Amino acid sequence: ISDSSLIYSRVLNRGCFEMNGRYYSRLSSIERSYRRHITVNGQRLVELDFKSLHIRLAYNLEGLNPPSVDCYDLGEVGRGIPRALVKALALIMLNISNGRGLNRALHNQWAVTLRKAQAERTYCSEMGLPQPDAITGLPDLWEPDDIRRCKAAILEAHRPIAGTYLMNGQGL
């Protein structure tokens, strides 16, 4: 990769330092299946995966221990809700200030997720690699009732952080 791909920029939530943000580079947008082949100065790039990172950070910021299981597994309250929907919605709920834009934000994010999943499936097929199955069989669009049920389950399962970090615009 070129040196210009290693340049990072910070994207601030709502354009201010007080609302946190994230660092991005051109590497951030490369599909997962491609990233495993990236080298820098001949060294293979290592990608660390921190499971349920944002939910866990919210618990830690409150001085609480996060659930010891996958934070996107909502247990009984989330029975039958696909993990992919829980993850997408929970991440949006951590950054949105109220519920009005929730459905639109989810549908926009879900469209990106589906495009990335299709690109990854195509790449794996071309390379003779096993197919990823995290998105297989999920709808192109979520029904409002699915979204309401998932939102309620997330708020219930993560009640200790709901008042401070979910749907109040705090962001992480």
**Type of residue at 129:** L
Q: For the ranges 14-18, 35-39, 72-76, which has the lowest average pLDDT?
A: 14-18
CA distance 102 to 105: 5
Give pLDDT tens digits for 35-57. Answer: 777 777 888 877 777 788 889 99
CA distance 130 to 89: 27
**Local confidence band at 13 (pLDDT 50, 70, 90 cut-offs):** low
What was the pLDDT predicted at 62?
Answer: 92
Cβ pair 38, 30 in contact under 8 A: yes
CA distance 160 to 124: 40
What stretch of H or E contains 119?
helix 102-127
CA distance 82 to 161: 21
Give pLDDT tens digits for 88-127. Answer: 889 888 888 776 777 777 778 777 777 777 777 777 777 7
Mean pLDDT of 19-31: 64
- What Rg do the C-alpha atoms of the chain give, in angstroms? 17
Give pLDDT tens digits for 139-167. Answer: 666 777 888 899 999 999 999 999 888 88
**Local confidence band at 135 (pLDDT 50, 70, 90 cut-offs):** low
What was the pLDDT predicted at 17?
Answer: 56
What was the pLDDT predicted at 37?
Answer: 78
Closest CA to 136 of 80, 75, 82: 82
Q: To 5 degrees, how large is the angle CA 134–CA 84–CA 116?
A: 60
Name beta bridge partners: 9.
Answer: 24
**DSSP-derived 3-state class of residue 47:** coil
Q: For the ranges 4-18, 22-36, 152-166, which has the lowest average pLDDT?
A: 4-18
